[in-house]
A and B are shown apart, each in its own frame.
Chain A
Amino acid sequence: MAPKAMTCQESSGNLLARFRQELSSADSLEIEAHLENCGACRAEEAGIAGLAELISSLPEVDPSAGSWSRMLMMIEESETVTPVRGNRGRLIALSAVLAAALAAGLLLILLPASPHTLTAGPGEITLNGAPVKPGSPIEFEDGAVIEAGRMALATLTLTRSISMVMEAGTRVRALPGGHLRLLSGRIFVEVDGSGDPIRFYAVGDTAVEVTGTAFDLIRNARDPAATVTVAEGTVRVFTGRTPVAVRKGQSFTFGPGQSSFAPSAVDPKRTADWCSTPTILLSRDGDLLRLTIRNDTVRPLAVKPFDPHLAAYSLLVEGQEIRLPVKIQERMVRSPVPADQEIRTLDPGAGYDLLLDPKSLGLQGGTYRIRAVYKPYPPLPAEVWHGPPLTTEALTLTVE
């Protein structure tokens, strides 16, 4: 006996399920047979498809930028944070809850116990909205918010060996346990290498271990990954796999969902911006040598060209190093800076020339190949040297 034909009422109840592909094979066959002979149900089927199309035309809504950061704030506020010191003193053992605070492009650095004391360097800084005098120590409790001014970079000296440059508008917050959290913006960290390696926790359980190095850490608020770009030295990134060495001029993105674990080269300008040394150039000015010292970075640089104990510049004449002695420096023919004034800081874009008389350097009649050399003080290990070339291009100079 042939199966009973499906009625319109039965068909109607199943049309949507059929459209959604949630109907059994048997029911599908039945309804198809019905549809062949029923214009009303075919029209209804078309209506179902039309509505689905209409609904699909609605645009999707994205969570706003900074959504994850706010999520972390909500978690943070709802939990108690209990950090524990690790065996190595400077490393940080993190409780699971504190780990929750790490993921939004956070940089956590062990600070002295609360109240914390930092030194505000050059640049405008506010503490909980109140301006801080540059160069003065600032004390703050857990929960305090430190913000760089909107117009320029600001520097914080965290410990004897760590300093942090905050891009304009960057905000950090002190967390319990002596940590700083990057709320927004970008920070650049310098570690002088005088101590043990220091481990920063950057995103999730990914750690960045540094010594004698400088790097910046940024994170797109809508992307769970973070990027570390190394301006000086080498940074080791621990992602639960073999540590990845990210060297000067390279960048490395890490975090949830990242599949590539190879550092990539970045535009040299990107790292030159953050070098801690000035650019030096050597040229001729008539019979004189012109040594140009210029700040091509984006932040103020400390320079000490006139301190006899911290002499930073020397000349390589035919491969032989001639340190610029005090008396030579005093004999500069022309300089925008009085010879007796020690230059402490060069603002971005600023520079000056030292005009040197070759004869005063002991160079007598002859032709010399000369290079200028910059040496930082205290000396940096060769493997962490960074920034503009240590040595300028050779200049040929004939002295009569």
Chain B
Amino acid sequence: MDRERDINLMLRVKDGDLAAFEALYARYSRPLTNFFHRLVWDRCFSEDLMQETFLRLWRGRKGYRPSGKFTTYMFQIARNHWLNERDKKNRRISPVSMDAGRDEESNGLKESLPARGNGPMTENLNRELGEKIAIAVEGLSEKLRLVFVLGQIQGMKYADIGDILGIPVGTVKSRMANAEKTIRGRLSSYLR
């Protein structure tokens, strides 16, 4: 049902219907922001990336063909945009060493960390944990990171990830397993 609705909305967008575009934006701006946020761990930058993705979606609307899920189409654009952006210099994203400390204030990570619990100790623990997760994910290679974020964080199926990244399902599965094991190893002290 959602799939058909999204495709119908995008077909309306293709005809220049901004209300339909707004409906898609209302529905997917948050997941897309979170997708980028798990890649760059910067709130402002991730929203920029999300909006630029939607702008590409709007600009390229006339070329849209409803050949698959809208989300696959959208995340393909997002992924391509991300790949184009990653090598650009002078952006806010900075390489993070697994060993080096992070400047929480400067990269926006602080505000994105879990802050559950009541006491300061719990809060500090959650923040530390969130930071460790971020560092662990950022430490993955580009290929593994994209698969991991799409699969483990966005909850996408292997087949959809394969469509988005243009790789076979088997490759998705193996990359996902590698990424998951790597992250699990890095976060072993937080796992029971």
Interface residue ranges, A against B (CB under 8 Å): 12-13, 16-17, 20, 22, 46-48, 50-52, 54-55, 57-64, 67-68, 70-71, 74-75, 78, 95-97, 99-103, 203-206, 224, 255-257
Contacts and interface: CB of A to CB of B under 8 A. Distances in A.
A61 B180 contact: no
Given A51-B187, A96-B15, A59 B112 contact: yes
A257 B23 contact: yes
Nearest to A52: B152
26 contacts: A13-B174, A20-B151, A46-B192, A47-B191, A48-B180, A50-B191, A51-B180, A51-B184, A51-B187, A54-B190, A57-B114, A58-B113, A60-B34, A62-B33, A63-B29, A63-B30, A68-B29, A70-B51, A71-B51, A99-B19, A100-B16, A103-B22, A204-B17, A204-B18, A204-B19, A224-B26
B145 interface: no
Contact of A99 (B18, B51, B183): B18
A100 B13 CA distance: 10
B21 to A, nearest CB: 7
Interface string B152-192: 11000110000000000000011011001001100110111
B152 to A, nearest CB: 6
Contacts of B17: 96, 99, 204-205
B58 interface: yes
Nearest to B134: A58
Contacts of A205: 17, 19
B116 interface: yes
B47 interface: yes
Contacts of B22: 68, 103, 204, 224, 255-256
A59 B151 contact: no
A74 B55 contact: yes
A71 to B, nearest CB: 5
A103 B25 CA distance: 12
Nearest to B151: A20
Contact of B114 (A47, A58, A64, A70): A58
B173 to A, nearest CB: 6
Nearest to B176: A16
A135 B16 CA distance: 41
Interface of B: 15-23, 25-26, 29-30, 33-34, 37-38, 43, 46-47, 50-52, 54-55, 58-59, 112-116, 126, 129-130, 133, 151-153, 157-158, 173-174, 176-177, 180, 183-184, 187-188, 190-192
Contact of B16 (A59, A68, A96): A96
Contact of A57 (B37, B55, B126, B191): B126
A343 B54 CA distance: 55
B111 to A, nearest CB: 9
Nearest to A56: B153
Contacts of B192: 46, 50
Contacts of B38: 58
B107 to A, nearest CB: 14
A58 B109 CA distance: 11
A57 B16 contact: no
Given A17-B173, A61-B37, A54 B26 contact: no
Nearest to A73: B51
Given A204-B19, A256-B22, 20 more contacts: A20-B157, A22-B158, A51-B184, A58-B112, A58-B114, A59-B115, A62-B33, A63-B50, A67-B47, A74-B52, A75-B58, A95-B16, A96-B18, A97-B16, A101-B18, A103-B19, A204-B18, A204-B22, A224-B25, A256-B20
A9 to B, nearest CB: 11
A140 B22 CA distance: 30
A61 B46 contact: yes
A238 B18 CA distance: 16
Contact of A203 (B19, B47, B51, B190): B19
Given A58-B133, A60-B30, A62-B33, A71 B16 contact: no
Contact of B112 (A61, A63, A102): A61
A16 B180 contact: yes
A67 B51 contact: yes
Among B17, B153, B158, B191, the one with the most A-chain Cβ atoms within 10 Å of its Cβ is B191
A16 to B, nearest CB: 5
Contacts of A20: 151, 157-158
A17 B21 CA distance: 35
B18 A256 contact: no
Nearest to B186: A51
A271 B114 CA distance: 43
Given A52-B152, A61-B112, A62-B33, A256 B59 contact: no
A64 B111 CA distance: 13
Given A51-B183, A78-B59, A57 B23 contact: no
Contacts of B174: 13
A210 to B, nearest CB: 21
